[in-house]
Amino acid sequence: MYTNLKHFINGEWVESTGNETEDVINPATEESIGQISLGTKEDLDKAVQAAKAALPTFSRTSREERIEMLEKIAKGYEKRKDELVQVMTDELGAPLKFSEEVHYEMGLAHFKKTAEALKDYKFEEDYGNYKIIKETIGVSGLITPWNFPTNQTSTKIASAIAAGSPMVLKPAELTPFAAMILAEIIDEAGVPKGAFNLVNGTGSTIGDGISSHPDIDFVSFTGSAGVGEKIMQNAAKTIKKVALELGGKSPLIVLDDADIEEAAKIAVSHISLNSGQVCTAATRIIIPESMKKDFGEAMKKAVPSFPVGDPLDKNVVTGPLVAKKQWDRVQSYIEKGIDEGATLLTGGTGKPDGLEKGYYVKPTIFTDVSNDMVIAQEEIFGPVTTVITYKDLDEALEIANDTVYGLAGYVVGEDQETLDYVAKNIRAGQIVVNDAEQDRSAPFGGFKQSGIGREWGAFGIEEYLEPKSVFGVKVPAKA
């Protein structure tokens, strides 16, 4: 059991001032794996005051000290690899292999890549008769979701440390334990007391408290567009800066010279990895009309390459959804797709055969989808995808961009000029050509309603800084 009823405030684990607790459920077994305390506004305020008190010293730590902290955290993270991999399997339902190769790896990469970016980050620059100094924004509030428990916490924490910004983290209630291990690692790495605080609790109490707290200067949030909107509204009352990484309904354009089997496999991987609970997942597969029959067959054939089942089984690729609430939500979208008249190529409502316990969903593919259907416009966040056909490339791009979102875009094909043209004309924060590997130092974030701001690497650090223009001082900018 992972039970820990304390919050991490001002360098120590402290009792909650409230007495409400919550069970954390393993979505594969539907059983409790431990409890957390649901923090109160008083707990949050203690954490914010600790961060505020740490601001004058933490914001003046040197580049070298911050690099050392990040490197020590990375080492501590590596030492606790087995625990981190296991906890993300237990609280999220991530298959062990995916937990190790993706969840664990992403969390680690952020500490390492941010330390690297910090080495040459220019905090001061001369511009002739003035200089610009980039200073810590102040106290940061970090609100994270459950779908990538160490990726999303680590990128925010690493950037805040690099910028010298003391922080208060509220992890998702559904997946708090990976973040609590991270808190122990951060403590052991010698991050000064008050610079990192963690308060568990609900979005409506602690999340809302962070976005409205007068002593928090910046909120970095990842999660749903609806909550992002609430955070902006709340933050407006104290004119706080917000960075929002929200949802997506990303297109994957298959060009007419693409290898059909290869493209179909990529399309199915998007709804299989992390059970489709990925904000950048391609869930609108846009194919040439001429490919319709062959592509459908190739997708059906690809589905068994991503076996669904017990996350503890090393051969399993797709585990359960994180919670009953998400399972119900995904089921209702599958029903909606059927009602809207899309063709159910494979999958459908209910649980896969032999998986009655656990929040498992059948990998579901809809064809004959038009881009104005609800299933083509709303983020489903499960193993459900839609296939839409196009007549020519202009139409493919029109469909790709016909969404309120703009987080990611994908294209598969051969001709480099066309790939480049498509990459430039999809309006989204990251474009992946032919399933290319992604570097964790490249800026990550969205256009349109997919959010505001960027995370990862140097762009991530930038979010936690304020530029200050200085006129008249003759001391040259520091390197």
What residues contact residue 407 under an 8 Å CB cut-off, 6+ apart? Answer: 246, 247, 248, 250, 279, 280, 428, 429, 430, 445, 446, 447, 450, 451
SS3 437: coil
Rule CB under 6 A: say whether 379 interacts with ligand NDP: yes
223 binds ligand NDP (CB under 6 A): yes
CA distance 238 to 161: 23
- Tell me whether residue 39 or residue 164 sits nearer to ligand NDP (CB atom): 39
Min dist. Cβ of residue 249 to ligand NDP (A)? 10
Determine if 202 is a binding residue for ligand NDP (CB under 6 A). yes
> In the complex with ligand NDP, which residue's Cβ is closer, 147 or 318?
147
Contacts of 138 (CB under 8 A, 6+ apart): 55, 165, 216, 217, 218
Check binding of 147 to ligand NDP (CB under 6 A): yes
Min. distance of Cβ 42 from ligand NDP in angstroms? 18
251 lies in the binding site for ligand NDP (CB under 6 A) = no
Is residue 463 a contact partner of residue 218, using CB atoms and an 8 Å limit?
Answer: yes
Catalytic residue (choose from 91, 100, 173, 279): 279
Distance CA 200, CA 8 (A): 9
CA distance 296 to 305: 15
Residues 247, 319, 406, 460: which binds ligand NDP (CB under 6 A)?
247
Nearer to ligand NDP (CB atom), residue 247 or residue 347: 247
Number of residues near ligand NDP (by CB under 6 A) = 28
Binding status of residue 141 toward ligand NDP by CB under 6 A: no
Task: Figure out which of the listed residues 93, 95, 145, 460 binds ligand NDP, where binding follows CB under 6 A.
Answer: 145
Active-site residue, 245 included: yes
Task: Determine if 276 is a binding residue for ligand NDP (CB under 6 A).
Answer: no
Residue of the chain from 207, 337, 363, 409 that contacts ligand NDP (CB under 6 A):
207
| 230 versus 351: smaller Cβ distance to ligand NDP | 230
Cα 330 to chain centroid distance, Å, stands at: 19
CB 187 to ligand NDP: min, Å: 22
Does residue 430 belong to the site contacting ligand NDP (CB under 6 A)?
Answer: no
Pairwise CA distance, residues 218 & 465, whole Å = 10
Give yes or no for a contact between 382 and 321, defined as CB atoms under 8 angstroms apart.
yes
Choices 139-147, 187-195, 297-305, 356-364; region in contact with ligand NDP by CB under 6 A: 139-147
| Residue 377 touching ligand NDP (CB under 6 A) | no
Tokens found for residue 273: 């990895």
Which residue in 245, 379, 455, 462 is the catalytic one? 245
Q: CA-to-CA distance for 188 and 104, rounded, in angstroms?
A: 19
Axis crossing angle, helix 149-163 with helix 105-119, rounded to the nearest 10: 20
Q: 426 near 268, Cβ under 8 Å?
A: no
408 touches ligand NDP by CB under 6 A: no
Classify each residue of 101-133 as buried b or exposed e, where b means 16 or more C-beta atoms within 10 Å of its C-beta.
ebbbebbbbbbbbbbbbbeebebbeeeeeebeb
Work out whether 309 is an interface residue with ligand NDP (CB under 6 A): no
Candidates 34, 141, 203, 457; binder of ligand NDP (CB under 6 A) is 203
Provide CB contacts within 8 A for 381, sequence distance 6+. Answer: 147, 247, 276, 277, 326, 329, 330
Contact between 321 and 27 under an 8 Å Cβ cutoff? The reply is yes
3-state secondary structure at position 148: coil
| Residue from the set 246, 254, 400, 422 that interacts with ligand NDP by CB under 6 A | 246
SS3 7: strand
83 catalytic? Reply is no
Q: Of 364, 365, 372, which is closest to residue 340 (Cα–Cα)?
A: 372
Contact status: 245 vs ligand NDP (CB under 6 A): yes
Give the integer Cα–Cα distance in Å for 409 and 33.
Answer: 37
Q: Which of 21, 204, 290, 305 binds ligand NDP (CB under 6 A)?
A: 204
Query: Using the rule CB under 6 A, is 91 a contact of ligand NDP?
Result: no
Q: Rule CB under 6 A: say whether 279 interacts with ligand NDP.
A: yes
Query: Which range, of 218-226, 257-265, 302-310, 469-477, touches ligand NDP by CB under 6 A?
Result: 218-226
Residue 172's CB is within 10 A of a number of other CB atoms, namely: 24
Which of residues 230 and 300 has its CB atom nearest to ligand NDP in the complex? 230
- Site for ligand NDP (CB under 6 A): which residue of 230, 292, 336, 351? 230
Which range in 66-74, 241-249, 295-303, 389-397 contacts ligand NDP by CB under 6 A?
241-249
Determine, following the binding rule CB under 6 A, whether residue 231 of this chain makes contact with ligand NDP: yes
CB 208, min distance to ligand NDP, A: 4
| Secondary structure (DSSP) of 256-273 | TTS-HHHHHHHHHHHHHG
Nearest approach, Cβ of residue 143 and ligand NDP (Å): 5
Q: What is the DSSP letter of 100?
A: I
Residues involved in catalysis = 245, 279
Q: Which residues bind ligand NDP (CB under 6 A)?
A: 143-147, 170, 172-173, 202-204, 207-208, 211, 222-224, 227, 230-231, 245-247, 279, 326, 329, 379, 381
